[in-house]
Amino acid sequence: MAAALVAALVAAVATLAGTASASPAEGSSRCPRSPSTRPPSNCSRRRTWSSDPVAARRTGYVPGEDTEWVTVKYGWTDPSDDDWIGVFSPSEFNSSATCPNPWPAEEPYLCTAPIKYQFANYSANYIYWGKGSIRLQLINQRSDFSFALFTGGLDDPKLIAVSEPISFKNPKAPVFPRLAQGKSHDEMTVTWTSGYDISEAYPFVEWGALVAGASQPQQTTRAPAGTLTFNQGSMCGEPARTVGWRDPGFIHTAFLRDLWPNKQYYYRIGHELPDGSVVWGKPYSFRAPPSPGQKSLQRIIVFGDMGKAERDGSNEYAAYQPGSLNTTDALISDLDNYDIVFHIGDMPYANGYISQWDQFTAQVAPITATKPYMVASGNHERDWPDTAAFWDVEDSGGECGVPAETYYYYPAENRANFWYKVDYGMFRFCVADSEHDWRVGTPQYEFIEHCLSTVDRKHQPWLIFATHRVLGYSSNAWYAGEGSFEEPEGRENLQKLWQKYRVDIAYFGHVHNYERTCPMYQNQCMTSEKSHYSGTMNGTIFVVAGGGGCHLSDYTTAIPKWSIYRDHDFGFTKLTAFNHSSLLFEYKKSSDGKVYDSFTIHRDYRDVLRCVHDSCFPTTLAT
């Protein structure tokens, strides 16, 4: 049996080595090898890949700086349905089944996690001809790539052959810029990833204001950037600390300050090398946020739980976000019609496979490069036992918040505490962290009350609370089974604040569907109106917008009275403030971008001031 296996492997190598005309016998004596190691460099096999631009085939480089598609060609004389191609980066990898680390928790069971993989029979007629060809999208991840053919399925993989490594022309290139509003409205932060440590080059952003219609500024200035990274030892558990670890490179953030409200700005990320030359990223532009209270059209996207997926159809660890690309593409195709995005937790679902943070930042880059992308922490970013998270679960795959708190900037006082406020024109957002204790008496409770209580509602009438887990209401089947319709101790601690400070909408994710309630307090609808709210403000509307892309969650069959609209599909929501008296809420499906639920709020300042149940302090009888 062993001899037959070796022979089969050798035959496979020969087919890979040759062109279509090479016979297994020709190669069988040239590249004998152990299945657990990469082939020697003097092996006569030729590489099994080619990339689309002809130049790439000649040079061995993948051109482009952030993403590129390549074609991988392969073959074997004994093809089977469970053969698969692994993509590895760095190109050197350990295909052994005997790992120094604990056994990988998830297939494919390899000691080095492939960044993704595809079954060989994805290529038509692979089983019949023993030859295949697949197109794969690579993103620039600061290292080279190799492709390996395995047989034996994902549970008992045996290496057959490995390609020669390929690389982007500049693997260190600055890529995937992501904007976020800073601690004040006149500050935009630009965060990006590169392979340049501060000892190699100075990171900066070149930027300047644009006059209407221009693509280049008349003047530019340079803002220096800070540099962060994290290491394997900062991971709290597996797989992040073991098989899922991958070097994150360097993450830079620059602060562009004193922005003029609503003005359009040009920017470009770069690194100044010791000789004074600059390695540039691509140029982009953004519109500066409105000043607090400013009356202008303001449009905001809110959703959670989007995740990532492979555009080339390949598989990866933690791949259970089938709606992710639909949502991403719906937002990319509508960039002209919104101004800022809130992704309220569960971002890539990397779950400890750190490579997927690069993948996620690449996927959303067309959005984040031009719109402030404000993030919140979810269980898949933060939760890990015995790390002071509120939940004693392993949902972060050992990340314990480190990648999320480094890859993305958000204006928290301490980024380990994922709560912050954002003033955006007529809106105030209070973003909370449901993975840390929010109950009465905690620092986070103090933050929430401070955020809700310090907004001037005559100028910023639209007050929004957002956090990842459902601390309000959801008729999700699991919560209904618990009898709570929420996470434990959620609204019991917070509803008095929402009522007292007259929160318009409380947003949640975590439950992977859409649901919208009536304006309510203490389980009661405060009005029978369903879609056009006006006059005295008397309750908070609760919205679950967790259908960003992760597999969908079921509802309970009995619909609670407070549940106005439910949709078991992928989607996102949009808030549009036209002025201080009119707000439009819309829920859109990711599949077609069309509106499936909506409501409006029309009111004046006095409607917020007017006392309703539990909203006012006692008053005096004196006159």
* Residues 6+ away with beta carbon under 8 Å from 296: 262, 290, 425
Distance of closest approach, residue 308 Cβ to Fe ion, in angstroms: 15
| Separation in Å, CA 145 to CA 16, 32, 138, 242 | 17, 23, 9, 20
Q: Minimum Å distance from CB 446 to Fe ion?
A: 25
Report which residue's Cβ sits closest to Fe ion.
510
**Shortest reach from residue 402's CB to Fe ion, in Å:** 18
Is 252 a binding residue for Fe ion by CB under 5 A? The answer is: no
CB of 379 to Fe ion, least distance (A): 4
Number of helices (H), then strands (E), in the chain: 12, 31
Residue 351 near Fe ion by CB under 5 A: no
List the interface residues with Fe ion, window 266-305 (CB under 5 A).
none
Helix extents (H) in 269-370: 324-332, 355-368
CB of 508 to Fe ion, least distance (A): 10
Tokens matching residue 479: 């919560």
Stretch that binds Fe ion, among 194-202, 219-227, 276-284, 341-349 (CB under 5 A): 341-349
Cα angle vertex 88, ends 86, 90, to 5°?
Answer: 170
* Least distance CB 468 / Fe ion (angstroms): 6
Backbone angles phi, psi at 118, to 5 degrees: -140, 140
Among candidates 405, 371, 410, 369, which has minimal Cα distance to 389?
A: 405
Closer residue to Fe ion (CB): 339 or 381: 381
Nearer to Fe ion (CB atom), residue 292 or residue 348: 348
Question: Cβ of residue 312: shortest distance to Fe ion, in angstroms?
Answer: 26
Candidates 103-111, 148-156, 504-512, 580-588; binding stretch for Fe ion (CB under 5 A): 504-512
Distance, in Å, from the CA atom of 540 to the CA atom of 517, rounded to the nearest integer, reads 9
For Fe ion, the closer of residues 123 and 467 by Cβ is 467
Report the distance separating Cα 79 and Cα 165, nearest Å: 24
Q: Which stretch binds Fe ion (CB under 5 A): 338-346, 358-366, 441-449, 553-561?
A: 338-346
Residue 501 Cβ, how far from Fe ion at the closest point, in Å? 26
Q: Which residues contact 477 (CB under 8 A, 6 or more apart)?
A: 553, 554, 555, 556
Compute the least distance from the CB of residue 242 to Fe ion, in Å. 23
**Smaller CB separation from Fe ion, 379 or 538:** 379
Q: Among residues 144 and 346, whose Cβ is nearest to Fe ion? A: 346
Q: What's the angle, vertex CA 459, arms to CA 456 and CA 464, rounded to 5?
A: 70
Match 């090398």 to its residue by tokens.
Answer: 273
Q: Which is nearer to Fe ion, 225 or 431 (CB)?
A: 431
Separation CA 439–CA 195 (nearest Å): 41
Minimum CB separation from Fe ion for residue 346, in Å? 4
Q: 379 or 576, CB closer to Fe ion?
A: 379
Q: Is 346 in the site for Fe ion (CB under 5 A)?
A: yes
Q: Which is nearer to Fe ion, 223 or 344 (CB)?
A: 344
- Minimum CB separation of residue 9 from Fe ion in Å reads 43
Q: Beta partners for 372?
A: 179
- 374 bridge partner residues: 342
Closer Cβ to Fe ion, 124 or 393, answer by number: 393
- Contact stretch for Fe ion (CB under 5 A) within 143-151, 249-257, 411-419, 509-517: 509-517
Closer to Fe ion at the Cβ: 381 or 586?
A: 381
Cα distances (Å, whole numbers) of residue 347 to 284, 305, 528, 546, 575: 23, 6, 36, 11, 21
Shortest CB 479 distance to Fe ion, Å: 13
Question: In this complex, which beta carbon is closest to Fe ion, that of residue 32 or of residue 385?
Answer: 385
- The closest alpha carbon to 114, from 142, 154, 76, belongs to 154
Q: In 3D, which of 543, 448, 439, 459 has the Cα closest to residue 500? A: 448
Q: CA torsion sign, 137 to 117 to 141 to 288? A: positive
Residue 569, token pair as written in the block: 């599909």
- Piece of 109-117, 189-197, 343-351, 354-362 that binds Fe ion (CB under 5 A): 343-351
- Residue 65 or 346: the one with the smaller Cβ distance to Fe ion is 346
- In this chain, which stretch among 360-368, 401-409, 503-511, 569-577 interacts with Fe ion, using CB under 5 A? 503-511
Environment class of 222 (CB within 10 Å of its CB; exposed 0-12, middle 13-18, buried 19+):
middle
* Residue from 116, 510, 574, 580 in contact with Fe ion (CB under 5 A): 510
* DSSP collapsed to 3 states, 252-283: EEEEECCCCCCCEEEEEEEEECCCCCEEEEEE
DSSP at 499: H
Cβ closest to Fe ion, residue 508 vs residue 533 = 508
| φ, ψ of residue 616 in degrees (nearest 5) | -130, 155
Q: CA dist 554 to 32, 258, 477, 478, 543, Å?
A: 53, 47, 6, 8, 16
Quick one: which segment of 121-129, 318-326, 491-499, 505-513 binds Fe ion (CB under 5 A)? 505-513
Q: How far is the CB of 542 from Fe ion (least distance, A)?
A: 17
In this chain, which stretch among 339-347, 424-432, 480-488, 599-607 interacts with Fe ion, using CB under 5 A? Answer: 339-347
Site string for Fe ion, 368-407 (x = CB under 5 A): ----------xx----------------------------
Query: Segment contacting Fe ion (CB under 5 A): 40-48, 325-333, 382-390, 510-518?
Result: 510-518
As measured in angstroms, the least distance from the Cβ of 304 to Fe ion is 7
CA–CA separation, 604 and 461 (whole Å): 9
Orientation angle between helical segments 443-453 and 491-500, nearest 10 degrees: 20
Stretch that binds Fe ion, among 22-30, 34-42, 76-84, 342-350 (CB under 5 A): 342-350
Q: How far is CA 453 from CA 38, 428, 606, in A?
A: 62, 11, 17
Nearest CB to Fe ion, comparing residues 185 and 510: 510
Closest approach, Cβ 608 to Fe ion, in A, equals: 32
Q: How many residues bind Fe ion (CB under 5 A)?
A: 4
For 578-594, b where at least 16 C-beta lie within 10 A, e where not — what string? Answer: eebeebebbbbbbeebe
Nearer to Fe ion, 421 or 510 (CB): 510
Which residues bind to Fe ion, rule: CB under 5 A?
346, 378-379, 510
